[in-house]
Amino acid sequence: MGWLSACITANLIGIGSNFDNCCTGIAYGSGKIKFPHWVNAIVNTVGFFTTLLGAYAGEIISHYLNASQASWTACSVLVCIGLFFWYSAYIHPHISQKQEQTRLQKPGWRQGIVLGLALSFTNLVTGFGATISNAASFWATVTSVTIWGYIMIWLGNVIGIGVLARLLGRYSSFVAGLLLIAVGIHQVY
C-alpha cells in the first residue's frame, strides 16, 4: 500500500470513528455551551490511550492470522461498528420505551474523563480493526483517531452553536456508519 493510500485510509478511519465526538460537540453547542479546549484535550487523551490499547491488541493478533483472515476480521469489526452507529441513532430510539430529557452543564475535568471513556469504545475497536488488517500503520491510526477526535468535538461545538446543527446532527451517524462500512469493505477488495 502506498503512503498516500495509507494516509487517506488513516484519515478516513480517524474521521469515521469520531463522528460521535462531533455529535457531542453539537449537543453542547446547541445548548449554547462552549466546550473548553482543555476538556477536549482530556477527552482525547483518554481516546489516545484507548486507541493505543486497541491498536496494540490488533498488532499482536495480526501475527497469528494470515492476510485474508486479518482483512475479513477487520472488515467485520468496522462494518459492525458502522451498523451499530446506524442502529443506535435510528432504530434504538424508536424501540426504546424511555424518553428522558437531560440538561447539559459546562463540562469540567470529571466530565472530560467520563466523556473520554464513553466516546472511546469506538476508538478501541477501530484501533484494533485498523491494525489487524494493516489498513494503516499502528501510529498513523492512533495519531489520526486522536487528532480527528479533538477536531470533531471542536467542529461539532462550533456547528452546534450555529445554524447547521440540525442538518449535521441528524445525518452524522449515517455518515459515520457509511465511512466505517466503506473502509471495512475496502479491506477485503
> Mean of the pLDDT values across residues 114-121?
78
- Place 187 in a pLDDT band, splitting at 50, 70 and 90: low
Sign of the torsion formed by the C-alpha atoms of 81, 83, 86 and 90 = negative
How far apart CA 129 and CA 13 sit, in angstroms, is 10
Per residue in 152-166, pLDDT tens?
Answer: 989 988 887 775 555
Neighbours of 72 (CB within 10 A): 15
Give me the pLDDT at residue 31, please: 67
How far apart CA 17 and CA 157 sit, in angstroms, is 17
Do 159 and 25 form a contact (C-beta atoms < 8 A)?
A: yes
pTM: 0.68
How far apart CA 79 and CA 149 sit, in angstroms, is 20
Per residue in 76-102, pLDDT tens?
Answer: 877 887 787 788 778 877 787 665 554
Give me the pLDDT at residue 44, please: 92
How far apart CA 169 and CA 110 sit, in angstroms, is 25
